[in-house]
Amino acid sequence: MMQLEETQIASRTLLEGGFLNIYQDTVRLPNGGESSRVVVRHSGATCVLAVTDDDQVVLVRQWRYATGGALLEVPAGKLDVGEDPAQCALRELAEETPYCAEQVEFVMKFYTAPGFCDEVIHLYRAVNIRAESTLSPDQDEFVETVLMGRAEVQAAIKNGEICDGKTLIALQYWLSEKV
């Protein structure tokens, strides 16, 4: 097997933010050479696939400043320091939507942009959801709950209305379950 690992020689902090830090690292390449890598370090996040008893997926529409528009997404949020990803998924579902879940089941984890970022998102499926949440979104979070059936989701993916990566992964998983 080919040697692929790069090893850090030096690191310089470019930004220390609230939930992410950016570094410029010097690395030793497998061939002995050196190169520079800009790396975003992120605490991680969860997203939750929640489906009602009548097979409607629970999405949220929210403004994403970086994209300049409102996106349709599965409920999601960053992990607090030391927080269990499953607990984060339960919390985010209840904060962002009127729904809460009895429990969540782990589906998968994935990197969001491994070319420059170490963020891992943990995808969970909510079990036994009900519209009984008493939690509110964070003070700087404004979200609208949207319910969609399978045909609506497929159309929204096809026409580009749903274009968020974590949401596409979660919804493709959901759509493939009944194949």
β-strand pairing of 100-111 with 34-42: unpaired
Q: Which of 2, 11, 64, 80 is nearest to 40 (CA)?
A: 11
Say if pTM beats, i.e. exceeds, 0.85: yes
| Domains of the chain, start order | 7-42 (no CATH), 45-177 (3.90.79.10)
pLDDT in tens, 99-138: 999 999 999 999 999 999 999 999 999 999 999 877 676 6
Given a cut of 60, whether residue 179 has pLDDT beyond it is no
Angstrom distance (rounded) from CA 74 to CA 54: 17
Given a cut of 60, whether residue 159 has pLDDT beyond it is yes
Angstrom distance (rounded) from CA 174 to CA 179: 10
What are the angstrom distances between the C-alpha of 11 and each of 38, 118, 169? Answer: 9, 15, 33
Angstrom distance (rounded) from CA 129 to CA 100: 5
The residues, any chain, with a CB within 8 Å of residue 85's CB and separated by 6 or more, are 44, 46, 79, 106, 122, 124
Angstrom distance (rounded) from CA 124 to CA 87: 10
User: Mean per-residue pLDDT for 53-66?
Assistant: 96
Note the Cα 15 to chain centre separation in Å. 22
Higher pLDDT, 131 or 139: 131
Task: Output Rg (C-alpha) for the chain, integer angstroms.
Answer: 19
